[in-house]
Structure 1
Amino acid sequence: MAVGFDKGFQMHAQGMVLRTQRAEVIASNIANADTPGYKAQGMDFKEALAQASRQQQGTIYKTNEKHFDIRTGSEDFLKYRVPDQPDTGDGNTVDVQMERNLYLENSLEYQASVQFLNGKIKAYKKVISGGQ
């Protein structure tokens, strides 16, 4: 009986890649908080993950059948944020406090994914070793 490691890990791997990309977008927003005319961007994580899931079910190009395909196409889900604060006159739409909160939330979700994967790996190791 074969254990489907790819089925067990692929979605989580894609989720972690998306969270990494989301962190990069948020960090870019924070870095450009003082750049005149910079428009803050955000990623619709749920839509990006759903798209990655649909890609997983379809035919995907891989260099080896045992490799995970973690291309996400997350660029399609980048959108400009609607500013919550009034325009300061320079056209910049970054709300630094909101971006920091989003970065922290994304970081916690990433860590939760890592812990979940670690638990899954430990469970697989236990099954393979016969519970020892």
Structure 2
Amino acid sequence: MLGKLDDYLRFQETALALRAQRQEILASNIANADTPNYKARDFDFQGALQDALTKQSSPPGVLATTNARHIPRGTPDGNTLPDGTQVQYRTPTQNTVDGNTVDMDVERAQFADNALRYEAGVTVLNQQIRAMLAAVQGGQ
């Protein structure tokens, strides 16, 4: 029974976790907009979601980190998320003198879009939980 409930909520759980990671990356880009030689980063959300869902359906081959002193899966330079998703550099739309590739218009738009989609995911998850509760309670 729990496995079926887990499967029912897995997509939204995975999507929300990836959206939260993407929000952190976008916030980092915005925070470093004036940092010389900072390269704006992002990742392919759709590809990461598909990879995460296929990894979850197959038996895990990665050891879990159960202690804060364990080495995380990501690379030391931060180019890989803990789930193995590759973080990529954005292609600059316009060159700058200081080598910074952050375009604030693009970053703000991506940040707002990601936040809106995160909220939509929370709403859908909330509706799924309400539907399950209604089913368990007999539709009262």
Q: What band does the TM-score fall into relative to the shorter chain?
A: 0.7 to 0.9
Structure 1 residue 10 displacement after superposition: 1.4
Report the TM-score, using the length of structure 2 for normalisation. 0.81
| Matched-pair contact (CA < 8 Å) for 1:41–1:81 | yes
CA distance in structure 2 between the partners assigned to 1:30 and 1:96 by the alignment: 7
Q: d(CA) in 2 for partners of 1:99 and 1:53?
A: 27
Alignment correspondent of 1:30: 30
Equivalent residue, structure 2, for 1:72 = 83
CA distance in structure 2 between the partners assigned to 1:129 and 1:112 by the alignment: 26
What does residue 115 of structure 2 align with? 107
CA distance in 1, matches of 2:55, 2:63: 12
Q: Structure 1 39/31 Cα, relative in aligned 2: closer, same or farther at 3 Å?
A: same
> d(CA) in 1 for partners of 2:16 and 2:88?
20
> Aligned letter for 2:58?
G
Q: Could you tell me how far apart the structure 1 residues matched to 2:83 and 2:126 are?
A: 22
User: What does 1:1-40 align with in structure 2 at a 5 Å threshold?
Assistant: 2=1, 4-40=4-40
Moved over 4 A (4+): none
Residue 33 of structure 1 contacts residue 92 of structure 1 at CA under 8 Å; is this kept in 2?
yes
Quote the residue 2:78 is aligned against. none
Q: 1:83 aligns with which of 61, 71, 92?
A: 92
Contact 1:48–1:72 at 8 Å: present in 2 too? Answer: no
Q: Percent identity?
A: 42
For normalisation by structure 1, the TM-score amounts to 0.86
User: After superposition, what is the alpha-carbon deviation per residue over 1:24-65, rounded to whole angstroms, capped at 9, x for unaligned?
Assistant: 0000000010000001011100110011011111112698xx
Report the CA distance shift for 1:62/1:115 in structure 2 as closer, same or farther (over 3 A): farther
